[in-house]
Amino acid sequence: MELECVKKMLEKGIERAAVVDGLPWKFIEHLCMNGLQIDLMEPGHVVCSMKITPRLLNSNNSFHGGAAALLVDMVGAAVIPSPMTSGVSVEINVSYFDAAYLHEEIEIDARLLRFGKAVAVVSVEFRKKKSGKIFAQGRHTKYLAVASKL
């Protein structure tokens, strides 16, 4: 999105500020997980699925790369066994290979690669449900102690 679009969006944003201000706390998590289903759950492995909603589209009318990053964060964290504290993110990365479109069904497959004393690492794969084709892959690294000890 170029700067012109950013400016237009910011202007629209002002109109929509009243809507946004009325939304509950932590709404960004609700927005990106709305419609998410847990299909499989075993130690170190979670598979979720969802249909891409109009809320999660980008300016090209395809699934927003930032929404995918949010899901790498959240579904990635869901696969980490619960310690005393939920830990803090150290690094998140995502590579995008293909676009996914409105109403398309996707699968989000998170695998725990490492669960150590201090650090956990998760790989998160995005697939198109129909073809099984991977369209994005990310990794999420968390430090498992409390944020103040980072």
Among 40, 45, 55, 105, binds a copy of itself (CB under 8 A): 55
Q: Which is nearer to a copy of itself, 67 or 106 (CB)?
A: 67
User: Measured from the CB atom, is 43 or 129 closer to a copy of itself?
Assistant: 43
Beta-bridge mates of residue 107: 49, 127
Which uninterrupted H or E stretch holds 107?
strand 105-115
CA atoms of 37 and 105, how far apart (whole Å)? 11
Site for a copy of itself in 109-138 (CB under 8 A): 113-114, 116-119, 121, 123, 134, 137
Choose, by CB under 8 A, the member of 9, 39, 45, 105 that binds a copy of itself. Answer: 9
Candidates 23, 39, 45, 105: give the one binding a copy of itself (CB under 8 A).
23
> What part of residues 74-103 is at the interface with a copy of itself (CB under 8 A)?
74-75, 77-82, 86, 88-99
Size of the site for a copy of itself (CB under 8 A): 89
Question: According to the binding rule CB under 8 A, does residue 105 interact with a copy of itself?
Answer: no
**What is the rounded CA–CA span in Å between residue 141 and residue 76?**
9
3-state class (DSSP) for residue 128: strand
Question: Which lies closer to a copy of itself via its Cβ, residue 84 or residue 130?
Answer: 84
Q: How far apart are CA 44 and CA 47, in angstroms?
A: 10
Biggest CA–CA distance in the chain, Å, is 48
Contacts 24+ apart (CB under 8 A), 4-13: 5/59
User: Does residue 40 interact with a copy of itself by CB under 8 A?
Assistant: no
